[in-house]
Amino acid sequence: MIGKKLGRITKTNEFFVLLVILVIFFAVSAISPVFLSSYSIISVLKTAIEPVIYAVGAYLVILSGGIDLTVAGIGAFSMFTATKIVFNMNYEGSALLPYVLAIGFGAALGCINGFLISRLKIQPMIATLGMNSIINGVMLFFIGSREISQVPVGIQTAGKTYVMTVYNAKGVAAPLSTTIYIAIAVVFLVYLLLRYTMLGANIFAIGGNVESAMRAGINVRNTQFIVYVIAGTLYGLGGMVHTVTYVNSNPMDLLGQEMITIAAVIIGGARITGGHGTLTGTVLGVLLIQLINNCLNTIGIPSYWQRFVIGLVLLIGTSLTSYQALKEKKRLHVEISASPLSIQ
């Protein structure tokens, strides 16, 4: 019994990604022994907090059979606008208000995405690509290349509150922000949503087959709308986590984040066609990408090669999930062909 369970686990995409993470970690540690330390582990965790929040939102969208290219746009707009408002108010309270504002802006932009896709029936890629261009255009017109380096006191305080801090051999600190609790809470709440609610079941259903979901009485339009609102909310939250973590609000920091986010979800085992994927795989996909970035930095690889490697990993991950889907389809075809009903 235990052997069968282990056999099933070792065949999962999550196990494969975890194995790759461990291989990369120990391989780079062999090249650069200083990498095998608590400092490196905390550094990876620190850089993974914000992307995990984005990835969970994108995972819900992809699971429902959609795609969302507004990750960076919504995140950047929400964090900068929320920070600018509290900055102009001379607000000296906690970081709660900026978080609420960023979440609100993210949810509002998610509503627009949901309306375009669920009500106007615009293809998700076209709708979100257009929305991302609009958001970026608005930010370039009103903001340009400006940033807010002197963020309000509440954000500064939150950004300097750590779970722990470790140091490398040279005395360089790697603090782990308390924002990790936010990422853990997001993953846990979405897990409950998918596992124990009707909405979660509906998301899997419409991602698997929209027509079958409609015949089963599922309100596809409402489900799609809610998914994009939740995703937008998480992008806004992730944007503010970025501001709190780095005690700075610069929209340019999130440039290209949408591709890294989608890559993490696909690498984690989610199928771009929808209906298949796990939260565990998504989190592992984020950790793998952040580990690769940290490893490349450690061995001195230029940043443009990091983009190349992430693109390569995305292609490999997509190919693997496509191969698994094809393999499963062939297996089901063989089972149906061999059944007594098909023989008769």
For the chain, the structural domain boundaries read 14-23+37-325
Instruction: Give me the residue label for tokens 């693109």.
Output: 311
Q: Tokens for 75?
A: 């995140």
Instruction: Specify the pairing of strand 162-167 against strand 173-177.
Output: antiparallel
Q: Tell which residue, 150, 152, 175, has the closest CA to residue 165.
A: 175
Residues of the chain with pLDDT under 50: 341-344
Residue 131, token pair as written in the block:
């929305």
Quote the DSSP letter at residue 35.
Answer: G
Spatial separation of the C-alpha atoms in residues 266 and 300, rounded to whole Å: 27
The pLDDT value given to residue 344: 47
Q: What is the DSSP letter of 57?
A: H
Task: Tell the CATH topology of 14-23+37-325.
Answer: ABC transporter involved in vitamin B12 uptake, BtuC (1.10.3470)
Of 70, 115, 106, which Cα lies nearest the Cα of 226?
115
Could you give the CA distance from residue 143 to residue 111 in angstroms, rounded to a whole number? 23
Q: Give the pLDDT confidence score for residue 334 in this predicted structure.
A: 61
Burial of residue 337, with CB atoms counted within 10 A of its CB: 0-12 exposed, 13-18 middle, 19 or more buried? exposed
pLDDT at 77: 95
Distance CA 101, CA 83 (A): 9
Please report where in the chains the tokens 């503010």 appear, as a residue: 240
Structure tokens at 105: 């802006």
The pLDDT value recorded for residue 1 is 59
Q: In angstroms, rounded to a whole number, what is the distance separating the alpha carbons of residues 317 and 187? A: 22
The tokens describing 139, both together, are: 């930010």
pLDDT in tens, 96-153: 999 999 999 999 999 999 999 999 999 999 999 999 999 999 998 888 778 888 888 8
